[in-house]
Structure 1
Amino acid sequence: MGRFRKLGVAVALAAITATTLTACGGNDEGGGDGSDAKVLKLWHYESANSAMGIAWDKAIETFKTEHPGVEVQFERKAFEQIQQNAGMIINSSEGPDIMEYNKGNATAGLLSSQGLLTDLTEETEKRGWDKKLSSSLQTTARYSDKGVMGEGNWYGVPNYGEYVMVYYNKDLFDKNGIAVPTSYDELTKAMDQFVAKGITPLAEAGAEYPAGQLFYQLALSKADRAFVDNYQLYKNPVDFAADPLKYGAETFADWVGKGYVAKDSASLKAEDMGVSFISGKAPMIVSGSWWYGRFKDEIKFNWDSFLFPGNKLNAGSSGNLWVVPTNSKAKSLAYDFIDITLRPEIQALIGNNGGVPVAADATQITDPKDKKLIENFNTISQQDGLAFYPDWPVPGYYDVLVSGFQSLINGSKKPAEVLDTIGKPYADGVKEITGK
């Protein structure tokens, strides 16, 4: 997904050590393709009450029923463990046979170019996964030999979608007599009204991904598909001193200056932002559909969501990928598990628990709010509006963006300085990948 958090190498190494101690026996009895393996080691980082967590728990049950002689060693990992240290983890003998991994050039693309992920092209065509996924969703599954997404072989398979939207507290809007916005101008008017009442309208988190995604949403309001192709796929050079990136940074700073975003949010993490909304303190957050299932499960007040007003392009993509490490000793079993997650009954579970399925029967989605979530994603997807995420283009860019937008929130740097700060690593990274 577009979630990004950081954890030290020491913790990841501790996790590997723990895995070594608990995964006694491993898969050593498996054959070359894992067809006779007796153990499937599966890792993912979805919470148990999230849409994907619920659906994948059911998929594990189904897998066990259909493979009675196979033990599933499932481990729920912290996102940070996999995000920051995936190459080291899956290149070890204690890595998983299949795991959830983040899509994009800087993550799945990088590992595929290093030979650490199994080429799934033949299996995808044989099992018909390519027929279940639209071309826009396939973008994040395929990578060139340089690790650039959108072309080349399949190195991962998504089974859900995701996108960034505006979540809002309907009770707070009603209590303060503020209309729910349907346009960009109405959005800023509503935020002005909250500020006038002493309420910070938009919870934010500068220490992790949310701030960068807000910047990207603002930039995308002035962007077109050509910009996305240039920024994400290196079609042409990107000028960080010009719109739409200039507009995004300047507008972000303007929002901080107007009190739409609190300056002390520079040090907050995504969880802090989410809890602020869940507790009923924040009128709005701009974040992804990955929160939806948790909000549905935990929030007690009246809430809803809407697409970022006026945008035809939105941060979003397929969901994270199921990848099979090259070192997997149970590849055949891993393929079977991926296949199960794309079945209609598993896809319906994703949809009925606040997720965005990619191959569900719409008649099986019962909750009106869940249907709206899926319909909004389909609207974006059908108008070619998935613009991926701002940190995807080059390895290590996530940390660059976090640092840059922390500086913008706390006022230590001006927009032009931040754009310079994030522009050079981008250009250097693209040159390293493309040679240009």
Structure 2
Amino acid sequence: MFSRTRSAAVVAAAVLALTAACGGGGQQQGDGKTLKLWHYEGASSAMGIAWSEAIKQFEASHPGAKVVFEEKSFEQIRQSASMILNSNDAPDVMEYNKGNASAGLLSKQGLLTDISAEADKRGWSKALTPGLATTAKYDTRGVMGSGKWYGVPNYAEYVMAYYNKDLFAKYNVAVPTTIEQLETAMATFRSNGVTPLGVGGAEYPAQQIFYLLALSKADRAWVEDFQLYKSKVDFHGPQLTYAANTFADWVAKGYIDKNSAGVKAEDMGQAWEQQKYPIMISGSWWYGRMVKEATFGWGTFLFPGTKLHPGSSGNLWVVPAKAKNKQLAYDFIDITMKPEIQNLLGNSGGIPVAADTSKITDAKSKELIANFDTITKQDGIAFYPDWPAPGYYDVLVAGVQKLINGSARPDAVLDEIAKPYNDNRANVGG
């Protein structure tokens, strides 16, 4: 995921504490019958539903084998991964966040298994589009996009605009297809006393809007420069200058509430569900929840005026270097990539990466997947703005908050977010 902050509900879903016995001695051999599995998706989520079925199929196809599943929280795994994976208590397969600062860092530390041979042998490398495979491969610097395979994603995600059809109809607003039309729509809402955009400035949502504005002036080469360090990025170039100036302008015009600097993602989502705002720009991870909870007519549209959108593969299945039953881990990953599991994931509100789309029958799921297909067909996956450097998430949150509360001018904010980015780029030899 986007290295997004998980909601309190997901974090609270953890039922077992991480235990790390970093004792001495060599790695023990597995029994070939027990698969130790960790992930942090809720049981009712699309991934949780699909992976529960995958566990059943794994045990049915491996007589005498048993999956020992332990549900962890995102924060538990994020905070303790290096310690646990460097011990003999490492799981055989686990879900882990993708990107340079996450899976890339673990691969550089030698804590993950190189699964390149398995990816080719089992067809995973062919099943994933190049854009989705980017987050699965890391070079010796821990930078994604090339090198060896250290993980496999079996779902995807992207950022879109959620809109309230009832409020759009009430104020005679059409779904925009250009940024100019979006600004006209927001001006109409504002003139009627309605703040158009629900925004969470205290966490990830605000920086997604900032990044989308930059992407509207960018191309694929700029994305690769920014994310993969292929060439130097000018933080006062047209892309980020437009993003900072336009974001600040939207605040000044009342399209974004000045009080949203302190709003968390969960509060933003609830406010949109309560119909306080007609538009919410955020990720597909909200989609299944909105299907269940939104009590009004709603839909989605891709952010207008750009072919590039924040998004990526989902989190990765990784096999720790100290896993004791690696072959069983590969077999389980393979099952999660099978069409029947992928189709189940799709019909449960997720975005599969290798499904038979003719088997996706749920109408809302079809809409979600169709928009994602539009993005991938135009090579529009642009990852997330906080990925390039460790700690960059907090840098961007602070920077965009200053655009919201007006405590710094756009050019000063660009200077502020440029320094840690450039420092890390120099550190890894970009």
TM-score by length of 2: 0.92
Which of residues 256, 267, 270 in structure 1 aligns to 2:265? 270
Distance 1:114 1:384 in 2: 31
| Equivalent position of 1:224 in the other structure | 219
Q: Does structure 1 residue 249 correspond to structure 2 residue 244?
A: yes
Per the alignment, do residues 79 and 325 of structure 1 end up closer, same or farther by CA in structure 2, a change over 3 Å counting?
Answer: same
Distance 2:84 2:405 in 1: 35
SS in 2 for 1:20: coil
Report deviation, 1:72.
Answer: 2.6
Per the alignment, do residues 95 and 280 of structure 1 end up closer, same or farther by CA in structure 2, a change over 3 Å counting?
Answer: farther
CA contact (8 A) 1:41 1:96 kept: yes
Which of residues 102, 107, 130 in structure 1 aligns to 2:102? 107
Report deviation, 1:392.
Answer: 0.9
Report deviation, 1:6.
Answer: 7.8
Report deviation, 1:74.
Answer: 2.3
Distance 2:219 2:327 in 1: 41
Equivalent residue runs for 1:307-326 within 5 Å:
307-326=302-321
CA contact (8 A) 1:6 1:84 kept: no
Q: Which amino acid aligns with 1:20?
A: T
Report deviation, 1:17.
Answer: 8.3
CA contact (8 A) 1:216 1:390 kept: yes
Q: Which amino acid aligns with 1:39?
A: T
CA contact (8 A) 2:225 2:232 kept: yes
| Equivalent position of 2:157 in the other structure | 162
Equivalent residue runs for 1:142-153 within 5 Å:
142-153=137-148
Distance 1:424 1:150 in 2: 23
Q: Does structure 1 residue 279 correspond to structure 2 residue 279?
A: no
| Equivalent position of 2:4 in the other structure | 4
Report deviation, 1:380.
Answer: 1.2
Distance 1:313 1:217 in 2: 8
Report deviation, 1:278.
Answer: 2.5
Report deviation, 1:256.
Answer: 1.4
Distance 1:264 1:386 in 2: 31
Q: Which amino acid aligns with 1:252?
A: F
| Equivalent position of 1:423 in the other structure | 418
Q: Which amino acid aligns with 1:233?
A: L
CA contact (8 A) 2:3 2:386 kept: no
| Equivalent position of 2:365 in the other structure | 370
CA contact (8 A) 2:35 2:325 kept: yes
Q: Does structure 1 residue 394 correspond to structure 2 residue 393?
A: no
Distance 2:3 2:364 in 1: 23
SS in 1 for 2:38: strand
Distance 2:286 2:417 in 1: 27
- Which region of structure 1 is more displaced relative to structure 2, 354-363 or 279-288? 279-288
Report deviation, 1:84.
Answer: 4.2
Q: Which amino acid aligns with 2:321?
A: T
Equivalent residue runs for 1:170-181 within 5 Å:
170-181=165-176
SS in 2 for 1:389: coil
SS in 2 for 1:325: coil
Q: Which amino acid aligns with 2:232?
A: P
CA contact (8 A) 2:3 2:387 kept: no
CA contact (8 A) 2:3 2:98 kept: no
CA contact (8 A) 2:28 2:88 kept: no
Any idea what the Cα deviations from partners look like across 1:191-248, whole Å, max 9, x if unmatched? Answer: 1122222222111111211111111001000001111111111111111122201111
Per the alignment, do residues 278 and 58 of structure 1 end up closer, same or farther by CA in structure 2, a change over 3 Å counting?
Answer: farther
CA contact (8 A) 1:209 1:402 kept: yes
Any idea what the Cα deviations from partners look like across 1:89-130, whole Å, max 9, x if unmatched? Answer: 433444432221121112111111111111111111221211
- Which region of structure 1 is more displaced relative to structure 2, 338-347 or 49-58? 49-58
Report deviation, 1:16.
Answer: 11
| Equivalent position of 1:126 in the other structure | 121
**Number of matched pairs:** 422
Distance 2:40 2:357 in 1: 27
Per the alignment, do residues 233 and 303 of structure 1 end up closer, same or farther by CA in structure 2, a change over 3 Å counting?
Answer: same
Per the alignment, do residues 96 and 314 of structure 1 end up closer, same or farther by CA in structure 2, a change over 3 Å counting?
Answer: same
Q: Which runs of 5+ in 2 are unaligned?
A: none
Report deviation, 1:339.
Answer: 0.7
SS in 1 for 2:428: helix
CA contact (8 A) 1:143 1:154 kept: yes
Distance 1:73 1:227 in 2: 44
Per the alignment, do residues 188 and 158 of structure 1 end up closer, same or farther by CA in structure 2, a change over 3 Å counting?
Answer: same
Q: Which amino acid aligns with 2:5?
A: R
CA contact (8 A) 2:37 2:93 kept: yes
Which of residues 394, 399, 413 in structure 2 aligns to 1:404? 399
Any idea what the Cα deviations from partners look like across 1:369-413, whole Å, max 9, x if unmatched? Answer: 322221221121111111111011112211111121122222222
Q: Which amino acid aligns with 2:174?
A: A
Q: Which runs of 5+ in 1 are unaligned?
A: none
Equivalent residue runs for 1:5-154 within 5 Å:
5=5, 18-20=17-19, 32=29, 34=30, 36-154=31-149
Q: Which amino acid aligns with 2:252?
A: G
| Equivalent position of 1:209 in the other structure | 204
Q: Which amino acid aligns with 2:115?
A: L
Report deviation, 1:55.
Answer: 1.2
